[in-house]
Structure 1
Amino acid sequence: MENENRAFIEMTGITKRFPGVVALDDVSLTVKRGEAVALVGENGAGKSTLMKMLSGLYHPDDGEIRVNGEPVSITDPKRAQELGISTIFQEPSLAPHLTAVQNIYLGREETKGKGIKRLNEKKMLEETQKLYGKFFPTVEDVQIPVSQLGALKNRVIEIVKALSIQCSLVIMDEPTAALAEHERQVLFDFVHMLKAQGIAVIYITHHLRELFGLVDRIVVMRDGKKVSEVEPQDTDVDDLVARMVGRTITNYIVKETVPVGDEILRVEHLTRKGVIEDVCLHVNRGEIVGLAGLAGAGRTETVRAIVGADRASGTVLVDGKECRIASPKEAILNGIGMLPENRKLQGAHIEMDVKDNITMANLREVLAGNFILEKNKEIKTAEDYVQRLGVKTPTIYQKVKSLSGGNQQKVILAKWLFTKPQVLIFDEPTQGIDIGAKHEIYNLIADFVKEGGGILLVSSELPELMGLADRIYVMHQGKIVHEFARAEATEENITLYASGGHES
């Protein structure tokens, strides 16, 4: 009989480097069978990168992974599954138009017969119902498209999918995202059930309160390193926050004092069912307003709703005038621009050149009266913005994909500045760019508010928010739970509210 106390997973000295960044630095982690281990830390601490090593999505540059005491190379997700490792990612991975049965067996369908094989639908249905029935008595759910089921049942289907491959370890990344409080409790019961079956669980969450009574150990990561390990009975939310932050706070840049003018943007009762609820905020001229929160808090969903990228109820006013914004195009016409979090997919057309990217959002400014493009005007506009923003490119005809991340971000900023906005929304403006480029972006942000613009800034880097913002709204589970004036905003206070610790 296999020793239940033996470690199922042993990660030793794991190091992972990306260009200009050490994402993981000599990290070690051990998980036993039937044990639940929490992995916590601020955004960017290295939690997800470490788990991608176990999932076969990333490969360590240094270090060793052992499964059941044997060294292994996890080359891809299929190999991870063969080793008994299954991952439930934060973002849903189910195909919404398929049933639970179809999702669970997608790509590994059971067949029967000789020669021409047929799907063994009866066996797949019975096996799915057997596993699903451990969680819910309504086994008929497994034959309904998952889009018609609630968030909790979708999470359970993800768990059943993990169990169906006879896994020994389930990695749960923010498993309670989008779940109501009573649904969370059901999911916690499932975690206990997995442990009782001898299945190990690695539980990643920013919601610190839910760890107590759920996990056996809590591992704290910071800046790519494992910095602490503690049992739940020996800690509390405040202590965990301190362990997560645990560094001298250094402002990347301190915003210059700029006279704050009249209100330029007001958002009232912005709601998207199940995502954000009753969000109210405002931004004045000459002001940078931060939007803080942990992964899944609803920050990106809020700013997308403001610019009409996602449908939501509520009111948006610019300069005191109510605006109907049903699309980003209408946001532009009302003086609002947004630099999205994913610059390569949503911010820029990376296969197009610098010139075209800069002018595309405001083509009417470079068109002649007969709607023919004035090439000389377009070229001069692009060259002016390249010089003004310090875009490092050999020519305005260079494809954006060949530029560095910082210069790509400058091109996107140039595009929005060319629309002459009154309000700019930045979603993770310095994500994935080096420190030198960060300071250049900060200076461009400062220049915009000096000229009377207003900025709404989403950032997972708290020192960045505290260094730039005049005020900071904190979001938790789709709601704004607190507003900090600049003098009140400490990293500990913001993290406390963002993690729900203020409710305990």
Structure 2
Amino acid sequence: MLKANTDIVRLNGAEKHFGAVRALNGVDFHVGAGECVGLVGHNGAGKSTLMHMVAGTLRPDGGQIAVRGDEEASYSVARALELGIRCVFQELSLCPNLSIAENTRINHPSLAGFGWRRRAADLIRAKLDEIFPDHGISADDIAGDLSIGRRQMVEVARAFTLTREPLHLVILDEPTSSLDAHTAGQLLSFVRRFVEQGGSCILISHVLGEVLQNADRIVVM
């Protein structure tokens, strides 16, 4: 259970340098339980760098990160997943030579033993059906054979699948960039349902209307 009035994640004074380039300089950022936070700003403002910190793929050069009220001294991707934080980055990460079911298994170590392929296929199929009812994607499809739009749909659906690991916060970095208007609408409707049920989301989008219509709070960088 979350502590009363505890944020899912909070960064205080986050700093990141890439050589002489100062990507982040003392940034404070937080996301509460049951909240969709819109994150906007021009290219190079540091949005993706900040999200990489939240996801554990980048270590800050300064500042602190706390998850569910507890400061994390050795934060990493594995720790973020353990704490229920997932990210769908703009750069798609599916292994192109693997099937959709096999790609789902990568995110869920508990899908092991006899029959894991069937369980992984059932898991991703159910989530695709829930988010994108007319998706037309098979769990046996090879990721590299899918269009960019369908790969993006799989990436999003995979991030919301549940096995033993908790799910509290999903970062969506330009999640509709390769989707048509109908499919984007399906995704955003699902995000609102997820938040209404107590989940949290960070929504990064260059389509300002998507952010204005779906975010509870907007942070501009």
TM-score band by shorter chain is 0.7 to 0.9
Larger relative contact order (CA 8 Å, sep ≥ 6): 2
Counterpart for residue 43 of structure 1: 43
Q: Which residue in 1 is equivalent to 2:160? A: 163
1:135 paired to 2:136: no
- Counterparts of 1:89-488 in structure 2 under 5 Å? 89-106=89-106, 108=109, 110-112=111-113, 118=114, 120-137=116-133, 141-164=138-161, 165-221=165-221
Letter in 2 for 1:111: A
Provide the residue aligned with 1:227 in structure 2: none
- What is the TM-score with the length of structure 1 in the denominator? 0.40
Specify the alignment match of 2:14 in structure 1: 14
Distance 1:70 1:197 in 2: 23
Contact 1:15/1:25 (8 A) holds in 2: yes
Per the TM alignment, residue 48 of structure 1 is displaced from its structure 2 partner at its CA by: 0.9
Larger deviation: 128-137 or 204-213?
128-137
Distance in 2 between the 1:87 and 1:62 partners? 22
Give percent identity, aligned residues only.
36
The size of the alignment, in residue pairs, is: 216
Asked whether the equivalents of residues 89 and 172 of structure 2 are also in contact (C-alpha less than 8 Å), the reply is yes
Q: Is the 8 A contact 1:36 1:200 kept in 2?
A: yes
Contact 2:59–2:75 under 8 Å retained in 1: yes
| Preserved contact between residue 83 and residue 166 of structure 2 (Cα < 8 Å) | no
Residue type of the alignment partner of 2:98? L
| Aligned residue identity for 1:82 | E
Q: Hey, what's the Cα distance between the residues in 2 that align with 1:87 and 1:172?
A: 6
Unaligned 5+ runs, structure 2: none
Q: CA deviation at 1:36?
A: 0.8
Please give the per-residue CA displacement for 1:3-44, whole angstroms capped at 9, x wherever unaligned. 675311111111122322221111111101221111111111
Paired residue type of 1:101: A
**What is the CA-CA distance between 1:160 and the residue it aligns to?**
2.5
Opposite residue 41 of structure 2, the aligned amino acid is G
Specify every segment of 5 or more residues in structure 1 that has no aligned partner in the other structure, as ranges. 113-117, 222-504
Q: 1:38 to 1:4 in 2, by over 3 A?
A: farther
In the alignment, is residue 29 of structure 1 matched against residue 34 of structure 2?
no
Q: Distance in 1 between matches of 2:61 and 2:137?
A: 46
Residues 37 and 215, structure 2, Cα contact 8 Å, conserved in 1 = yes
Pair member with larger Rg: 1
Measure how far apart 1:177 and its partner are.
1.1
TM-score (norm 2): 0.86
Query: Which residue of 2 is the match for residue 483 of structure 1?
Result: none
Structure 1 Cα separation of the partners of residues 177 and 74 of structure 2 = 28
Helix, strand or coil at the partner of 1:121: helix
Query: Aligned ranges for residues 72-87 of structure 1 at < 5 Å?
Result: 72-73=72-73, 75-87=75-87
The AA in structure 2 aligned to 1:172 is L
The one-letter amino acid of 2:155's match is E
